[in-house]
C-alpha cells in the first residue's frame, strides 16, 4: 500500500518503514518467528514442563528411550528427560549468545567510533584490532578458562562464574569485525555537511558523536550484532564439545551434542535435537540479520 | 550370556584343533587391527602399548606371563626358582638357561651374549631406554657359557622376574644392534623397524604409523607353528571403528582395545561375526579422597599439602559414608558392561594378592546417613545440605573429560546429594589432568579438589611398587614439584613399616598376605581409596580366528603362534 501512494500519504516514520520492508523479507520473518519460538521454548518451557525428579536406580530403568508421550524427546543414557535438558541447555546457550554479542558490539562500536573520529587514535586502535584478529581464539579461551575459572568461581559460584567467564571471553575476542565496520562508516560520516555544520557551531566531539554519528551507524551495527549472536552460540558449542567451560552437570546445546555423539548410531535423536536447535538458532539469526540489512538500507528500502 | 556361549564355542574348537593344524603356514593370512598404529618395533625405544605388543610378535624374552599371571618359559629351558636352584637363597642371583639349538630368524644361533648385550643396550648411560625399570637393581650379568645367563642383583630381589621377562624386555640380536648403543639407538632405523627376532613372525615391511606386514619365521622353535603364513597389523581409526571392523563387517580377525559403551557392545555383538573378549587386569577406577585441605583460601604452596588436614574428609566416618552411598553395580552397567565389575579393592588381581574385601558392594544409603549423623553432620537449617559448626558439607569432585566419567559424576552426584552432601563437579581435559605440569593447578597430583576420580594399574604381576606409592615420603607437594605418587596424602607409620616388611619378604604366600593387609588398610579400614570398578581389557576377535586367549599380564599377542583359522 505504502509505495502506491507514496506522494500523498504523510511521511511514515523510520521505524514503520523499516518494519514494512523487513516484513517483505520472507526469510527474515521466518527467522524471527523461529527465534521467538525458541525463546519461548527455553523461557516458558521449564515452567510448563516439569518432569518428576527420579532416583538414580529408578531413572536408569527408563534410559535410552525414544520419543514418547512421557518423554517427548526421549531419555539419555542415564534416564534423564531430554526435553527438560534441552530447555535448560537452550537457556544457557541463548543467553551466552546474546550477552556475548552485546559485549562484542559495545566494544566494537566504542573502538570503531574512537578510531574513526579521532585521527590520532586511529593508528593505535586499528593495530590493536589487527592484533586481536590475529589471536587464535580457542587456545586463548582455554588459557583464560584455566587461569581464571577458580578465581571467578570463588566469587560467583561455579555456574555463574563459568557463565561470566565464557561470555566475557567470547565477547572480548569477537568485537573486531564490528570495530572495522563502524570505523569505516564513521570516516565517511564525519565529512558530511551536517557533521561539519555541527562542529562549526562549536559542538563538542562527545555531542557530535552521540547526536549525529551514532544514530547513523546503527544499521551496520545491528547487522554485525545478529551475525555475532550466531557466532557466539557456535563458539560456546565448540567449547562444550571440547568438554570445557561449564561444569559437566550444567547442560548446554553443545554439550548435549557431545554426549549424544557416542550414541549417534543407535539413537540418532540424541544428536538431532540439539543439533537442530543450534542450526535453527544460527540460521534464523542470520536471516534476521539479512532482513535487517535490507530494511535498514535506504537504497533497497525505497524499491 | 552370548559372550560366554561364544567363548565356550571357541574353547570347544580349541580342544579338537590340534589335529587340524599341524603344519606351519597352512592357514594363510591373518589381519590384526591396532587402532593406535605402531610407530617403532623396538620396545626399548617406546613405552607405547601398541609398539610393545606388535614387537612381541617378533622379539621374545627368556619368559613371559600367561593369562593367569604365571611366569612361563619362552627362550628359557625352565623357570628358575629358589627350589630348583635357579635363584640363590639370599635372593641376589638368578640363573637363566637358554633352550639349546635356538636360532634367530636369519638362521644364526641365539646365545647368552645376546642377553648380555641387551642389558648393556638398555642400561647404556647415553641412551634413553624406555624399559630401564625392568633392569633396575642389577649389578652385573655374567655369561659362563653360550646358554647360561647369570644376573646378580645389588640387593635381595624378591621378584627377580623383571629382566628378560614379558613383552617389555625381550632379547635383541647383538649382531644386528651392535652399532646402536647409547646415543646411536634412535638413529638405527633399519634395526628399529625390522628387528631380527626369535618370535613366530618376522617383519617383511613396515610403514610407520600405518601398517606392519609380517611372515612366519622359518626358524621358529616349534616346526608346526605358527599356523598363519602371513600377518598384517594395521593401524588407524578409533576403538568404535575397530570393534565394528571385526564384529560387524568382518574385515579384520582381531582388534585390540575396543573399549566401547555397553549399548554398542550389545549391538555390535549381535551381528554375529565375532566376539568381544574381556580379561581383567589390575586397572581400577577409583575415587581418591584428599586427606589435606584444598581450600582456595589457603596460600599457594600450602593448599592441598600436609600442613593443613582436610576439615571433614580426615574423619573416617565421612569417607565411609560417601563410599556407602555408591551403588557400584549401577556404575558398571552405565559405563563398562561386560568389560567391568564392581570392586572394593585397590589391588584386584592377581588372585594371590587380591583381598576378599567385599564390604562396599551393597549400597547402604540409610547406613551412610546414620554414619554422618553420628559424626555430627546434621541438616540444621533444612536446605538439604548437612552442616556442622556452621560449615556445610560440600565437596568439589574432579576428573578428566571423558563421557563415561561424566556419567559417573552425574550419578554419584545424585547419590551424594541424596545423602545431604553438596557436590560441585569439575572436569579437566585429560592431557592437562594427567599432564603432570607443576605449573598447572588442574593436575591430579596437585589435587585442588576434595575428591577426584581416575583409573590406575600396576605393571607386571607384583603389587609391591604400587603399594609403596602410599608411603608418607611419596606425598606430592611444592618441595618435590608435585611429583609424588601418594595422591591422597595418606600417611600411616604402620603402613610404611608393613611396606618395608614386604620388600624383605620372599615367600610368596607371605607376600600375598602382607599385600592384602596393605590393600585393606587403604580401602576398607580407612576408605582413603574408594575403589569403584575393576576395568577389564576389551578386545574383539572374529569367530573364524581360533586359539585367541586374552592376556592382561603380558602382551595381547602373547600366543599368536597358537592362533589358527577355524574352518
Min distance B400 CA to chain A CA atoms (Å): 9
Q: Cis omega before residue B226 (within 30°)?
A: yes
Banded pLDDT at B439 (limits 50, 70, 90): confident
Residues B296, A266: C-beta atoms closer than 8 Å: no
Please report the pLDDT score of residue A303 as a whole number.
53
Percentage with pLDDT > 90 across chain A = 17
Among B296, B330, B425, the residue with its CB nearest the CB of A248 is: B425
Residues A64, B425: C-beta atoms closer than 8 Å: no
Residue of B nearest to A240 (CA): B401
Q: Taking residues A259-271, what's their average pLDDT?
A: 84
Helix (H, G, I), strand (E, B) or coil at B532: strand
DSSP B234-258: EE-S-HHHHHHHHHTS---SEES--
With a cut of 60, say whether residue B13 has pLDDT above it. Answer: no
CB A247 within 8 A of CB A158: yes
**Cα-based distances in Å from B369 to B201, B310, B382, B410:** 60, 20, 15, 20
Banded pLDDT at B1 (limits 50, 70, 90): very low
- For residues B55-80, b (16+ Cβ closer than 10 Å) or e, as one string? bbbbbbbbbbbeeebebbebbbeebb
Apex A263 CA angle, B537 and B435, nearest 5: 55
Among B327, B413, B415, the residue with its CB nearest the CB of A249 is: B413
CB B87 within 8 A of CB B160: yes
Please report the pLDDT score of residue A243 as a whole number.
61
Banded pLDDT at A184 (limits 50, 70, 90): very high
Residues B334, A55: C-beta atoms closer than 8 Å: no
Question: Residue B344: how many CB atoms within 10 A of its CB?
Answer: 26
Pick the closest to residue B164 from B115, B127, B232 (CA basis). Answer: B115
**Per-residue pLDDT reduced to its tens digit, B80-124:** 988 888 899 888 999 999 999 999 999 999 999 999 999 999 888
DSSP structural state of residue B86: S
With a cut of 70, say whether residue B228 has pLDDT above it. Answer: yes
Largest CA distance in chain B: 82
> For chain A, what is the HEC assignment?
CCCCCCCCCCCCCHHHHHHHHHHHCHHHHHHHHHHHHHHHHHHCHHHHCCCCCCCHHHHHHCCCCCCCCCCCCCECCCCCEHHHHHHHHHHHHHHHHHHHHHHHHHHHHHHHHHHHHCHHHHHHHHHHHHHHHHCCHHHHHHHHHHHHHHHHHHHHCHHHHHHHHHHHHHHHCCCHHHHHHHHHHHHHHCCCHHHHHHHHCCCCHHHHHHHHHHHHHHHHHHHHHHHHHHHHHHHHHHHHHCCCCCCCCCCCHHHHHHHHHCCCCCCCHHHHHHHHHHHHHHHHHHHHHHHHHHHHCHHHHCC
Question: Residue B125: how many CB atoms within 10 A of its CB?
Answer: 6
Partners of A242 on chain B (C-beta within 8 Å) are: 401, 429
Please report the pLDDT score of residue A183 as a whole number.
92
Partners of B418 on chain A (C-beta within 8 Å) are: 55
DSSP structural state of residue B114: H
Percentage with pLDDT > 70 across chain A = 92
DSSP structural state of residue B77: S
Among B327, B407, B418, the residue with its CB nearest the CB of A78 is: B407
**Cα-based distances in Å from B367 to B319, B322, B371, B372, B419:** 13, 11, 6, 9, 10
Domains, in order of start, for chain A: 93-301 (1.10.3720.10)
**Residue A268 touches chain B, beta carbons under 8 Å:** no
Partners of B296 on chain A (C-beta within 8 Å) are: 150, 154
Residues B263, A263: C-beta atoms closer than 8 Å: yes
Partners of B333 on chain A (C-beta within 8 Å) are: 60
The mean of the pLDDT values for chain B is 88
Residues B425, A154: C-beta atoms closer than 8 Å: no
Apex A250 CA angle, A247 and A251, nearest 5: 125
Residues contacting B234, CB < 8 A, separation 6+: B31, B32, B33, B34, B37, B210, B211, B252
Residue of A nearest to B239 (CA): A262
- Long-range Cβ pairs for the range A249-252 (8 Å, 24+): A249/B409, A249/B410, A249/B413, A249/B425, A250/A92, A250/A159, A250/A162, A251/A85, A251/A88, A251/A89, A251/A92, A252/A89, A252/A92, A252/A93, A252/A96
**Residue A130 touches chain B, beta carbons under 8 Å:** no
Residues A242, B429: C-beta atoms closer than 8 Å: yes
Q: Higher model confidence: residue A219 or residue A267? A: A267
Partners of A55 on chain B (C-beta within 8 Å) are: 414, 418
Among A57, A263, A265, the residue with its CB nearest the CB of B327 is: A57
Q: What is the CA radius of gyration of chain A?
A: 23
Residues B406, A248: C-beta atoms closer than 8 Å: yes
Banded pLDDT at B548 (limits 50, 70, 90): very high
Residue of A nearest to B327 (CA): A57
Residues B327, A56: C-beta atoms closer than 8 Å: yes
Residues contacting B143, CB < 8 A, separation 6+: B111, B112, B113, B115, B116, B149, B150
CB B438 within 8 A of CB B444: no
Distance, CA of B268 to CA of B246 (rounded, Å): 9
Contact residues, A window 27-56, toward B, CB-based 8 Å cutoff: 55-56
Partners of A62 on chain B (C-beta within 8 Å) are: none
Read off the C-alpha cell for B437.
Answer: 605440569
Residues contacting B119, CB < 8 A, separation 6+: B135, B138, B141, B163
Burial class for B452, CB neighbours closer than 10 Å (0-12, 13-18, 19+)? buried
With a cut of 80, say whether residue A109 has pLDDT above it. Answer: yes
Residue of A nearest to B407 (CA): A78
CB B330 within 8 A of CB A60: yes
Residue with cell 528500502: A301
Residue of B nearest to A267 (CA): B263
Please report the pLDDT score of residue B70 as a whole number.
84
Q: Taking residues B463-484, what's their average pLDDT?
A: 85
Residues B414, A64: C-beta atoms closer than 8 Å: no
DSSP structural state of residue B474: G
With a cut of 70, say whether residue B22 has pLDDT above it. Answer: no
Residue of A nearest to B403 (CA): A259
Residue of B nearest to A239 (CA): B429
Pick the closest to residue B221 from B67, B76, B43, B31 (CA basis). Answer: B76
Burial class for B12, CB neighbours closer than 10 Å (0-12, 13-18, 19+)? exposed
Pick the closest to residue B387 from B420, B365, B424 (CA basis). Answer: B420
With a cut of 70, say whether residue A10 has pLDDT above it. Answer: no
Residues contacting B527, CB < 8 A, separation 6+: B289, B316, B319, B320, B322, B323
Q: What pTM did the predictor assign?
A: 0.79
Return the minimum-mean-pLDDT range out of B3-7, B169-173, B321-325: B3-7
With a cut of 90, say whether residue A250 has pLDDT above it. Answer: no
A–B CB contacts, 8 A cutoff, strictly below: 68
Partners of A258 on chain B (C-beta within 8 Å) are: 403
Distance, CA of B109 to CA of B365 (rounded, Å): 66
With a cut of 80, say whether residue A1 has pLDDT above it. Answer: no
Min distance A243 CA to chain B CA atoms (Å): 6
Return the minimum-mean-pLDDT range out of B238-242, B322-326, B371-375, B432-436: B432-436
With a cut of 50, say whether residue B294 has pLDDT above it. Answer: yes
Min distance A268 CA to chain B CA atoms (Å): 13
Helix (H, G, I), strand (E, B) or coil at B212: strand
Q: Is B65 left (phi over 0), alpha (psi -120 to 50) or beta?
A: beta
Burial class for B96, CB neighbours closer than 10 Å (0-12, 13-18, 19+)? buried
Residues A150, B448: C-beta atoms closer than 8 Å: yes
Residue of A nearest to B441 (CA): A146
Q: Taking residues A264-280, what's their average pLDDT?
A: 88
Pick the closest to residue A230 from A41, A27, A94 (CA basis). Answer: A94
Residues A247, B425: C-beta atoms closer than 8 Å: yes
Distance, CA of B522 to CA of B288 (rounded, Å): 10
Please report the pLDDT score of residue A41 as a whole number.
92
Please report the pLDDT score of residue B160 as a whole number.
87
CB B197 within 8 A of CB B191: no
Read off the C-alpha cell for A44.
Answer: 516458558
Distance, CA of A84 to CA of A103 (rounded, Å): 29
**Per-residue pLDDT reduced to its tens digit, A219-246:** 788 778 877 887 888 888 777 766 667 7
Read off the C-alpha cell for A34.
Answer: 523461529
Q: Higher model confidence: residue A156 or residue A27? A: A27
Please report the pLDDT score of residue B271 as a whole number.
86
**Residue A155 touches chain B, beta carbons under 8 Å:** no
DSSP structural state of residue B290: P
Partners of B261 on chain A (C-beta within 8 Å) are: 77, 262-263
Distance, CA of A261 to CA of B448 (rounded, Å): 30
Residues A259, B406: C-beta atoms closer than 8 Å: yes
Please report the pLDDT score of residue B370 as a whole number.
93
Pick the closest to residue B349 from B8, B65, B130 (CA basis). Answer: B65
Distance, CA of B325 to CA of A120 (rounded, Å): 67
Read off the C-alpha cell for A115.
Answer: 578510531
**Per-residue pLDDT reduced to its tens digit, B390-419:** 888 999 999 988 888 888 998 999 999 999
Read off the C-alpha cell for A71.
Answer: 518423554
Read off the C-alpha cell for B310.
Answer: 582436610
Q: Is B401 left (phi over 0), alpha (psi -120 to 50) or beta?
A: beta
Pairing of strands B29-34, B230-235: parallel
Pick the closest to residue B36 from B200, B255, B186, B194 (CA basis). Answer: B255
Partners of B406 on chain A (C-beta within 8 Å) are: 243, 248, 259
Residues A259, B427: C-beta atoms closer than 8 Å: no
Residue with cell 580377525: B253
Q: Taking residues B518-526, what's their average pLDDT?
A: 92
Pick the closest to residue B467 from B405, B402, B421, B513 (CA basis). Answer: B513
Please report the pLDDT score of residue B18 as a whole number.
46
Distance, CA of B99 to CA of A246 (rounded, Å): 61
Residues A150, B401: C-beta atoms closer than 8 Å: no
Min distance A253 CA to chain B CA atoms (Å): 16
CB B116 within 8 A of CB B164: no
Min distance A145 CA to chain B CA atoms (Å): 11
Residue of A nearest to B326 (CA): A56
Partners of B334 on chain A (C-beta within 8 Å) are: 60, 77-78
Amino acid at each position: 500500500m505504502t509505495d502506491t501512494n507514496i506522494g500523498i500519504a504523510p511521511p511514515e516514520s523510520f521505524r514503520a518503514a523499516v518494519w514494512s520492508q523487513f516484513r517483505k523479507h520472507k526469510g527474515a520473518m521466518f527467522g524471527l518467528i523461529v527465534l521467538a519460538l525458541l525463546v519461548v521454548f527455553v523461557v516458558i518451557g521449564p515452567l510448563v514442563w516439569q518432569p518428576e525428579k527420579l532416583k538414580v536406580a529408578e531413572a536408569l530403568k527408563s534410559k535410552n528411550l525414544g520419543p514418547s508421550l512421557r518423554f517427548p524427546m526421549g531419555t539419555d543414557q542415564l534416564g534423564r528427560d531430554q526435553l527438560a535438558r534441552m530447555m535448560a541447555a537452550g537457556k544457557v546457550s541463548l543467553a551466552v549468545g546474546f550477552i556475548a554479542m552485546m559485549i562484542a558490539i559495545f566494544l566494537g562500536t566504542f573502538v570503531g567510533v574512537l578510531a574513526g573520529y579521532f585521527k590520532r587514535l586511529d593508528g593505535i586502535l586499528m593495530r590493536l584490532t589487527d592484533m586481536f584478529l590475529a589471536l587464535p581464539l580457542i587456545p586463548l579461551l582455554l588459557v583464560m578458562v584455566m587461569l581464571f575459572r577458580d578465581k571467578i568461581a570463588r566469587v560467583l559460584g561455579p555456574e555463574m562464574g563459568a557463565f561470566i567467564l565464557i561470555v566475557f571471553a567470547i565477547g572480548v575476542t569477537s568485537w573486531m569485525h564490528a570495530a572495522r565496520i563502524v570505523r569505516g562508516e564513521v570516516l565517511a560520516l564525519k565529512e558530511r555537511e551536517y557533521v561539519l555544520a555541527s562542529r562549526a557551531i562549536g559542538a563538542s566531539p562527545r555531542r557530535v558523536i552521540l547526536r549525529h554519528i551514532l544514530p547513523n551507524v546503527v544499521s551496520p551495527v545491528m547487522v554485525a550484532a545478529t551475525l555475532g549472536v550466531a557466532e557466539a552460540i557456535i563458539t560456546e558449542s565448540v567449547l562444550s564439545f571440547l568438554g570445557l567451560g561449564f561444569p559437566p552437570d550444567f547442560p548446554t546445546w553443545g554439550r548435549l551434542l557431545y554426549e549424544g555423539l557416542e550414541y549417534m548410531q543407535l539413537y540418532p535423536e540424541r544428536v538431532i535435537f540439539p543439533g537442530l536447535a543450534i542450526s535453527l538458532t544460527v540460521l534464523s539469526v542470520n536471516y534476521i540479520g539479512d532482513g535487517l540489512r535490507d530494511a535498514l538500507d535506504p537504497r533497497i528500502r525505497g524499491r | 550370556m552370548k559372550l560366554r556361549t561364544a567363548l565356550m564355542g571357541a574353547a570347544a574348537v580349541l580342544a579338537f584343533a590340534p589335529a587340524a593344524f599341524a603344519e606351519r603356514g597352512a592357514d594363510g593370512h591373518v589381519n590384526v587391527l591396532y587402532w593406535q598404529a605402531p610407530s617403532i618395533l623396538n620396545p626399548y625405544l617406546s613405552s607405547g602399548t601398541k609398539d610393545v605388543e606388535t614387537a612381541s610378535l617378533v622379539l621374545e624374552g627368556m619368559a613371559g606371563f600367561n593369562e593367569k599371571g604365571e611366569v612361563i618359559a619362552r627362550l628359557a629351558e625352565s623357570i628358575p626358582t629358589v627350589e630348583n636352584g635357579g635363584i640363590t637363597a639370599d635372593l641376589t642371583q638368578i640363573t637363566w638357561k637358554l633352550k639349546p639349538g635356538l636360532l634367530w630368524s636369519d638362521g644364526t644361533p641365539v646365545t647368552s651374549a645376546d642377553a648380555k648385550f641387551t642389558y648393556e643396550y638398555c642400561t647404556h648411560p647415553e641412551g634413553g631406554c624406555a624399559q630401564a625399570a625392568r633392569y633396575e637393581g642389577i649389578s652385573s650379568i655374567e655369561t659362563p657359557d653360550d646358554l647360561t645367563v647369570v644376573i646378580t642383583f645389588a640387593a635381595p630381589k624378591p621378584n627377580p622376574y623383571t629382566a628378560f621377562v614379558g613383552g617389555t624386555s625381550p632379547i635383541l640380536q647383538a649382531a644386528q644392534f651392535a652399532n646402536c648403543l647409547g646415543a646411536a639407538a634412535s638413529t638405527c632405523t633399519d634395526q628399529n623397524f625390522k628387528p631380527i627376532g626369535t618370535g613366530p613372525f618376522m617383519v617383511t615391511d613396515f610403514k610407520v604409523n600405518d601398517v606392519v606386514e609380517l611372515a612366519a619365521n622359518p626358524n621358529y622353535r616349534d616346526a608346526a607353528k605358527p599356523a598363519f603364513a602371513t600377518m598384517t597389523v594395521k593401524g588407524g581409526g578409533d576403538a568404535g571403528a575397530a570393534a565394528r571392523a571385526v564384529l560387524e563387517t568382518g574385515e579384520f580377525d582381531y582388534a585390540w582395545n575396543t573399549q566401547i559403551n555397553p549399548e554398542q557392545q550389545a549391538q555390535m555383538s549381535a551381528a554375529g561375526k565375532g566376539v568381544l573378549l574381556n580379561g581383567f587386569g589390575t586397572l581400577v577406577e577409583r575415587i581418591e579422597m584428599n586427606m589435606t585441605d584444598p581450600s582456595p583460601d589457603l596460600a599457594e604452596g600450602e593448599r592441598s599439602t600436609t600442613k593443613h588436614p582436610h576439615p571433614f574428609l580426615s574423619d573416617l566416618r565421612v569417607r565411609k559414608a560417601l563410599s556407602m552411598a555408591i551403588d557400584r553395580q549401577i556404575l558398571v552397567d552405565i559405563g563398562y558392561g561386560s568389560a567391568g565389575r564392581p570392586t572394593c579393592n585397590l589391588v584386584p588381581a592377581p588372585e594371590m594378592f587380591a583381598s576378599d574385601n567385599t564390604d562396599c558392594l551393597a549400597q547402604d544409603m540409610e547406613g551412610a546417613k546414620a554414619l554422618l549423623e553420628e559424626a555430627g553432620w546434621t541438616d540444621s537449617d533444612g536446605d538439604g545440605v548437612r552442616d556442622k559448626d556452621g560449615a556445610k558439607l560440600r565437596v568439589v569432585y574432579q576428573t578428566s573429560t571423558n563421557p563415561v566419567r561424566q556419567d559417573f559424576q552425574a550419578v554419584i552426584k545424585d547419590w551424594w546429594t541424596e545423602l545431604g552432601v553438596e557436590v560441585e563437579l569439575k572436569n579437566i581435559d585429560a592431557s592437562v589432568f594427567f599432564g603432570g605440569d607443576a605449573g598447572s593447578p588442574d593436575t591430579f597430583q596437585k589435587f585442588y579438589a576434595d575428591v577426584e576420580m581416575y583409573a590406575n594399574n600396576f605393571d607386571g604381576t607384583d603389587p609391591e611398587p604400587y603399594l609403596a606409592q602410599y608411603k608418607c615420603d611419596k606425598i606430592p607437594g611444592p618441595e618435590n614439584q608435585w611429583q609424588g605418587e601418594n595422591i591422597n596424602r595418606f600417611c600411616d607409620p604402620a603402613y610404611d613399616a608393613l611396606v618395608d616388611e614386604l620388600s624383605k619378604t620372599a615367600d610368596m604366600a607371605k607376600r600375598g598376605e602382607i599385600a592384602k593387609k596393605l590393600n585393606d588398610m587403604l580401602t576398607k579400614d580407612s576408605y582413603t581409596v574408594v575403589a569403584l570398578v575393576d576395568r577389564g581389557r576389551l578386545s574383539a576377535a572374529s569367530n573364524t580366528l581360533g586359539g585367541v586367549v586374552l592376556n592382561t599380564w603380558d602382551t595381547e599377542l602373547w600366543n599368536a603362534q597358537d592362533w589358527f583359522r577355524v574352518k
